[in-house]
Amino acid sequence: MRFWQALTWVETDQLVEVATLAEELGFDGVFVSDHLFVAQHPRWPHPDRADERPAFTTTTEYPDVWVALGAIAAATSRLLLAMSVSVLPIHHPIEVARAAATLSVMSGGRFALGIGTGWEREEFAALGVDFTTRGARVDESIEAMRRLWQPGWAEHEGAHFSFPAVQQNPTPAAPVPIWVGGPSAIARRRAARLGDGWIGGGNAPEEVPALLTELAELRRGFGREHEPFETLIGLTTPPDLDTFKRLDDLGMTSGVSYPFRYSLPGPSSVAEKRARMEAFAESIIEPMRSR
């Protein structure tokens, strides 16, 4: 099992330092989260989580994910990099494909593109994008980006995006992995059908076995059971070694160390974050490595 440090809501001026510490302490990867802005009056509830409130506030920092991950890539050598997640349907696939390919090449293939359909209507409205077609736009964007990541000319004619034969350079050495995020059954089905992995939205440990079984069955149904598939699942319970061992045995490929906001409420220093990561590395990562 690999272990990721969530950098969601980390103070922007600390991101690179915290990521380099994660690499030093033995974490396999880090991920950042992506929103264009925080709306003054977001329409709630979340379509998949009606009983929850937003974790962000009006002071939450959402730096540009491409700039942030590019800086982290330059400061690290082996750390895997991902987004959890980019709101893909508010972007054009040509732009996302170029950025993802560039980051993949410059990081030596360490980048995975985590994508979701989005839930905040205000982001769609501000950019003039139809909220109701976001799922179809995601499916079409995945198809278009994979064409663009191949050497040579690529063209696409679809319901939401169309472009004549174009060529983007650089092309990644291999297609950028696409991990579909989201807590819904629709997201899991999309991950099994089109994705290279699934990013959970926070699950209780007892939920995970059924989720892994569901994903495996879906992938078999789509004839994709032999392809590599990532399951990056954050747990809603405090880190527990026996729990990670059990889920590792069931095939969960990646665990997550909480966003610091959950263990260090409010702004926190790099030293405080380091102490949290050291505790996770000592109690979870090191024993799991020695199994």
Q: How do residues 104-144 score in pLDDT, each as one tens digit? A: 999 999 999 999 999 889 999 999 999 999 999 999 999 99
3-state secondary structure 179-219: EEECCCHHHHHHHHHHCCEEECCCECHHHHHHHHHHHHHHH
Please report, rounded to a whole number, the percentage of residues in the chain having pLDDT higher than 70: 94
Nearest to 185 by CA among 6, 47, 31, 4: 47
pLDDT of 51 reads 54
92-104: pLDDT as tens digits: 999 999 999 999 9
**Do the strands 154-157 and 80-83 form a parallel or antiparallel pair, or are they unpaired?**
unpaired
Could you give the number of structural domains in the chain?
Answer: 1
pLDDT of 55 reads 65
B/e letters for 93-132, b = 16+ CB within 10 Å, e = fewer, are bbebbbbbbbbbbebeebbbbbbbbbbbebbbeeeebebe
* Residues contacting 242, CB < 8 A, separation 6+: none
> How long, in residues, is the chain?
291
DSSP single-letter state for residue 227: S
The one-letter code for the residue type at 74 is A
pLDDT of 58 reads 67
Asked if pLDDT for residue 70 goes beyond 80, the answer is yes
Q: What is the distance between the alpha carbons of residues 7 and 9, in angstroms, rounded to a whole number? A: 6
Q: What is the distance between the alpha carbons of residues 101 and 80, in angstroms, rounded to a whole number? A: 15
* Residues contacting 148, CB < 8 A, separation 6+: 93, 94, 97, 98, 101, 154, 166, 168
Asked if pLDDT for residue 52 goes beyond 80, the answer is no
The one-letter code for the residue type at 166 is V
pLDDT of 265 reads 79
Which helix (H) or strand (E) is 67 found in, with range? helix 65-75
Nearest to 222 by CA among 250, 190, 197, 187: 190
Q: What is the distance between the alpha carbons of residues 161 and 62, in angstroms, rounded to a whole number? A: 27
Asked, as a colleague might, if the bond just before 38 is cis with ω within 30 of 0, I would say no
Residues 134-163: what's their mean pLDDT? 97
Nearest to 191 by CA among 99, 201, 237, 147: 201
pLDDT of 53 reads 54
Nearest to 275 by CA among 9, 88, 21: 21
Residues 248-260: what's their mean pLDDT? 97
190-245: pLDDT as tens digits: 999 999 999 998 999 999 999 999 999 999 999 999 999 999 999 999 999 999 99
pLDDT of 235 reads 97
Do 32 and 68 form a contact (C-beta atoms < 8 A)? Answer: yes
Mean pLDDT of the chain: 94
**What pTM was computed for the model?**
0.94
Backbone CA torsion sign across 261, 122, 117, 104: negative
Find tokens 């974050």 and name the residue.
273
Q: What is the distance between the alpha carbons of residues 50 and 52, in angstroms, rounded to a whole number? A: 6
CATH number of the domain enclosing 171: 3.20.20.30
Could you tell me the residue range of the domain that residue 262 belongs to?
A: 2-289
